[in-house]
Structure 1
């Protein structure tokens, strides 16, 4: 019944309508008028289309009034008795009534921890925690399935849980991703950013936001689909504290700012399909790079690690490079390399030329590599060019079997 909308609204706020002045009395009278109208309209709505429009408008007015009273009650919670936390505890105990709150503005309160009571407000659409002392957002934020806006500006929040991705109720725009990415730039204390399902048209907005994140340490960017191009060139310079970078998606070229990201210690490129004749050029002089992963990220026959490059690299993984035939390692390249993974590079028939220069190599892992490469390596270990690989303590062979890698060791 349409009348029930107003009835619920009245019962919801009945405790606050007693003895609180002329303004509230006015609201009480408005409730009475709404109730009387809807009592008659319920009987006629189905046979009178014009009346149905009026019923809809009154019903929406009731909802709007509820939002206004939500704010009134919250203001009472701010200024009386036990403060906002005490008020929220009362909300949690009052059942479905006050849990119908759709807007919660806690701006400027002395919150230091996210109130557990908030995640029980299942109808909440707008939540502002601006200018609080909040430091973390719990995983339970994912319970607020109706949440449309979350304001964390001028808080101490530096990370967002993955559960934030469950919140699908963004404004009904074609460019929702752009709106969200623009908001990321307001969280200036963020240290980790994970962007999933990125579209090419949103890359400039993302870059604009990233330029504001001076404390960013870790950036993970994944395209909406494998062939979607990721263009991060609009970022004029990288966050100077950036340490870890994952890019998953088609790159026409590596971002121009990569060589100046001096604090990078890990770079992981997936599905990049780079065709640059020298894709390593942008990475080779990064002074702190210790871990490099290139997974289905290069389309070419040869990779050359030039003399004097990758001075602090400790782990290198080359995987599913379908056109790769040769890998060359020049003297004094990768002098600290400890772990080398070659995975599913089907055209490679030899271990990297110059592997003997990697004197600190502790592990060579060959998984899903051609039989011809494994056979030649076996011959080297049993005589042949034994000197090329004799310095490697562990040589591991991986074969895909029963949905897992089955590994054996050569000696």
Structure 2
């Protein structure tokens, strides 16, 4: 379904498989976890190639080798599994047509597919698509389950979406000239929708209350979405696993209280969190036992004023693997070292006076650490012997007062990548850097090497 040499994010593939019904339920696992096993098996058999991996070794993006792709195309044509229409227009669109991948801006194929019952449509043109072409597709093909316009800029007549009642996966990018910052209320009619991906539509940020009717929605992804009208309904969306990224802003306490009802949540990204929100947010986070990824940014306003992130987690999410805190901290959070499964930790604009390393160096599962952009206001960072034993990636930068970084022998035993940037008072490379025997990549400012 994807163009030649196209690298696709593994999550995108997985969510489309689920929407198509290719993934079968297994006891004790989510459909997403089962699909990840499927993808791993395809990689093991060399049918899919890995193009990038996450810090924990999981596949981030992948592609299909040209020879394998040719074989797949032949089999797809033979079984009428899917059709591919490219710039040359050579692909046959005859016979049964259920899935279509288009890599041309030409509208020649539309007349040839009007009598087909297409379940999946993906457009890969990297061009501004013709408005009449898109609207004609939406009007004619009401049996669609997967609709992916993620790589294409659109001007859309949204009224045609309301008839796509079978849709389970929807991803699109709105062109800036449309000035469509409010998602229309028709979204509430797509009762079977499981994934709504608005991340490429930066201008579509206001999400109507009507979306709460989508009780099957599992993944809602956007760019600083405003959910101000959700305060009394978001708790009804109990299937949600992904909620990213959401603006809280002024008066968001009731909304945050509702979040505690989302017991299946795996990923939560919050922006513009304020001091008055953190008591309610602490209570909600204590209820999220399946949460794996959490990002909180407290900055708000034109000058990005950072409020204090004051979370009191009596029982922090035990499955949390990735954590980002961007905002002031009065002291280092005592609950962070309790996160035994934490793999990646990003700390920014925290203005800590106490060296944060001493709180982190006994976290054995942590593989990536970023201490950046005013996260620390002290003068020295010290990695002690035996500390951060399994850390593979370390990023330190944007720290204006630091003049000394000390690495004891025996510290950072597994470090492979070390990046330093914009530390104006640091005049030499870190003391003890020669002890990093497994270091493969080192990025430091030129002046430190002069």
TM-score bucket of the superposed structures, by smaller chain: 0.5 to 0.7
Give how far 1:374 is off. 2.3
SS at match of 2:271: strand
> What is the number of equivalent residue pairs in this alignment?
267
With over 3 angstroms needed to count, the CA separation of the structure-2 counterparts of 1:171 and 1:246, relative to structure 1, is closer
Residue 260 of structure 1: aligned partner: 338
Alpha-carbon distance in structure 1 between the residues aligned to 2:183 and 2:428: 60
2:231–2:252 Cα contact (<8 Å) kept: no
With over 3 angstroms needed to count, the CA separation of the structure-2 counterparts of 1:231 and 1:171, relative to structure 1, is closer
Give how far 1:174 is off. 9.1
Alpha-carbon distance in structure 2 between the residues aligned to 1:164 and 1:324: 33
Alpha-carbon distance in structure 2 between the residues aligned to 1:240 and 1:271: 25
- Which one has the largest radius of gyration? 1
Alpha-carbon distance in structure 2 between the residues aligned to 1:231 and 1:145: 25
Alpha-carbon distance in structure 2 between the residues aligned to 1:191 and 1:146: 21
Alpha-carbon distance in structure 2 between the residues aligned to 1:144 and 1:197: 14
With over 3 angstroms needed to count, the CA separation of the structure-2 counterparts of 1:164 and 1:334, relative to structure 1, is closer
Q: TM-score, normalised by structure 1?
A: 0.56
State whether structure 2 residue 400 is matched by structure 1 residue 319. no
With over 3 angstroms needed to count, the CA separation of the structure-2 counterparts of 1:122 and 1:330, relative to structure 1, is closer
Residue 345 of structure 1: aligned partner: 423
State whether structure 2 residue 224 is matched by structure 1 residue 147. no
With over 3 angstroms needed to count, the CA separation of the structure-2 counterparts of 1:141 and 1:151, relative to structure 1, is farther
Query: For residues 92-115 of structure 1, what are the alpha-carbon distances to aligned partners after superposition, in whole Å with 9 as ceiling and x for unaligned?
Result: 9xxxxxx7xxxx9xxxxx988269
2:391–2:414 Cα contact (<8 Å) kept: yes
Residue 196 of structure 2: aligned partner: 137
Alpha-carbon distance in structure 1 between the residues aligned to 2:230 and 2:408: 52
**1:9-24 mapped onto 2 (5 Å cutoff):** none
| Aligned counterpart for 1:113 among listed residues 165, 168, 185 | 168
1:142–1:164 Cα contact (<8 Å) kept: no
Residue 281 of structure 1: aligned partner: 358
**1:11-410 mapped onto 2 (5 Å cutoff):** 113=168, 124=185, 127=188, 135-139=194-198, 145=206, 147-148=208-209, 150-151=211-212, 155=216, 157=218, 159-163=219-223, 165-166=225-226, 169=229, 176-225=251-300, 226-276=304-354, 278-295=355-372, 296-367=374-445, 371=447, 373-375=448-450
SS at match of 1:176: coil
Give how far 1:164 is off. 6.9
Give how far 1:180 is off. 2.3
2:206–2:225 Cα contact (<8 Å) kept: no
SS at match of 1:246: strand
Residue 23 of structure 2: aligned partner: none
Residue 115 of structure 2: aligned partner: none
SS at match of 2:225: helix
Residue 65 of structure 1: aligned partner: none
Give how far 1:325 is off. 0.9
Give how far 1:185 is off. 2.1
Alpha-carbon distance in structure 2 between the residues aligned to 1:282 and 1:182: 30
With over 3 angstroms needed to count, the CA separation of the structure-2 counterparts of 1:355 and 1:136, relative to structure 1, is same
Give how far 1:184 is off. 2.3
1:134–1:156 Cα contact (<8 Å) kept: yes
Give how far 1:331 is off. 1.4
Give how far 1:138 is off. 3.9
Alpha-carbon distance in structure 1 between the residues aligned to 2:205 and 2:437: 55
With over 3 angstroms needed to count, the CA separation of the structure-2 counterparts of 1:290 and 1:141, relative to structure 1, is closer
Q: TM-score, normalised by structure 2?
A: 0.51
Give how far 1:142 is off. 8.1
Alpha-carbon distance in structure 2 between the residues aligned to 1:113 and 1:293: 37
Query: Cα RMSD over matched residues?
Result: 4.0
Alpha-carbon distance in structure 1 between the residues aligned to 2:346 and 2:213: 30
More strand by share: 2
With over 3 angstroms needed to count, the CA separation of the structure-2 counterparts of 1:346 and 1:258, relative to structure 1, is same
Alpha-carbon distance in structure 1 between the residues aligned to 2:334 and 2:214: 30
With over 3 angstroms needed to count, the CA separation of the structure-2 counterparts of 1:298 and 1:332, relative to structure 1, is same
Alpha-carbon distance in structure 1 between the residues aligned to 2:424 and 2:205: 47
2:309–2:327 Cα contact (<8 Å) kept: no
More helix by share: 1
Alpha-carbon distance in structure 1 between the residues aligned to 2:285 and 2:357: 24
Alpha-carbon distance in structure 2 between the residues aligned to 1:128 and 1:211: 33
1:231–1:255 Cα contact (<8 Å) kept: no
Alpha-carbon distance in structure 1 between the residues aligned to 2:215 and 2:327: 32
SS at match of 2:346: strand
Alpha-carbon distance in structure 1 between the residues aligned to 2:410 and 2:346: 23
